[in-house]
A and B are shown apart, each in its own frame.
Chain A
Amino acid sequence: MARPVRFNIHPIQADVKDNISLTNMPEGYTGEGFFATNLNSVVGLARKNSLWPLPFATSCCGIEFMATMASHYDLARFGAERLGFSPRQCDLLMVMGTIAKKMGPILKQVYLQMAEPRWVMAVGACASSGGIFDTYSVLQGIDQVIPVDVYVPGCPPRPEAILDGFMRIQDLVGQESLRRRTGEQYKDLMQSYGIQ
């Protein structure tokens, strides 16, 4: 006595030509069999389309991140297919959720274990500024302990917002100079956080 199937009975044939997006070539000089551009753009292009994020999901924003990773709002479209939960293997630290003051040193330790180049995205109000929890136990923003590149406001931010934040990280990654991490300004930034 099976009910007749009502959904997904007219499958749409996948149209490969329309559904693949290609990223644009960086500017350069093309010729017969060669393409000259600067290393920054090529390396940035490669890095930004294959970021490996570390989801440091603590509370509700982590649920929104799960939705972002799922098929509907697919994060894998942007190259972040492979999530690592080890900081040693990841580029992007996505802090999603409320960080307590007790968790602050642990978060800093995770950040220190990441290899350069590394980026940090603070997802949600609690990670950006403590959110609605202005109390004795909540760290008022993770930028008290680690430097942050992109803040995604929201409580929680919608998956589209997280994706927008991710795209801005991609912009930062694509345009970053290869010498940034060895420069004086970056060293001063790290000094101000107490990171050698």
Chain B
Amino acid sequence: MAFISFMALTNETIKERLKAKFGDELSHFEEPYGLLTFEAPKDLNLKVMQFLFDDQELRFQFLTDLTAVHYPNQPGRELAVVYHLHNLVDNIRIRFKVFTAIAQPDVFTASQLYSSANWMERETFDFFGVNFVGHPNLKRILNVDEMIYFPMRKEFPLEDQTRIDKDDAMFGRGGSLPETMGAPSTHSGPIGQAAPLNSQDPGGATSQSQAPGAAPEGR
């Protein structure tokens, strides 16, 4: 690029440079709280990052964060992988998102470009199930290795499903536990007995029930 600016780098400049390079493929430019945000198609995520990295004016050479968001109501675009990049020299931040379908959540790995993306992508895989193509060691990082579900997806209930001693009424959910578990007041829960946990609890991976106090599976 022949055009070098002597003014401070602004969001406008970054936007123009990106549009000049990628044209219509980048979309949804917005600036919530002054942070330039845009969306890219998932095949271009590495190209966009490489461009932002190599360009002498843009110099976005620090990956601050790499995470995902689950939007269950957008078929075909359920998982958004969000990258936050930082230009340390000019102190400008930028965010871009790539959307992927939940049925085939493959995204190219950024770990060849940024070493910090290695663990951040493992965490994103651990919690959302995004498969980073080309990652050297894509396995769970924070959860137990045997876990078969992805906790941060919206269908996963917050509470541990093996609890059978939690009274719904006391937790503000109304009603009491269903008949199969007996009355809450007389039932001595796992604390009163020696209840072994020999295998890791799946926690309702497939059929997700919305009431957290529902019957545990696999016990």
Contact = CB atoms under 8 A, between A and B. Distances in A.
Contacts of A134: 158-160, 163, 166
Interface in A113-138: 128-130, 134-138
Interface string B25-59: 00000000000000000000000000000000000
Interface residues of A, number: 23
Contacts of B162: 140
A179 to B, nearest CB: 20
The prevalent SS among residues of A at the interface is loop
A86 B142 CA distance: 26
A143 B195 CA distance: 7
Given A135-B158, A135-B160, A140-B163, A102 B143 contact: yes
Size range of the interface on B? 20 to 34
A129 B192 CA distance: 11
A140 B191 CA distance: 9
Contact of A136 (B151, B190, B195): B151
A54 B142 CA distance: 26
A174 interface: no
A137 B142 contact: yes
Interface string A175-192: 000000000000001001
A143 B191 contact: yes
B126 to A, nearest CB: 11
A139 B203 CA distance: 12
Interface string A156-171: 0000000000000000
Given A129-B191, A136-B203, A144 B160 contact: no
B197 interface: yes
B203 A147 contact: no
Contacts of B195: 143-144
A144 B159 contact: no
Interface of B: 142-144, 147, 151, 156, 158-160, 162-163, 166, 190-191, 194-198, 200, 203
14 contacts: A129-B191, A130-B160, A134-B159, A134-B160, A135-B151, A135-B159, A135-B160, A136-B158, A136-B160, A137-B142, A139-B197, A141-B190, A143-B195, A192-B194
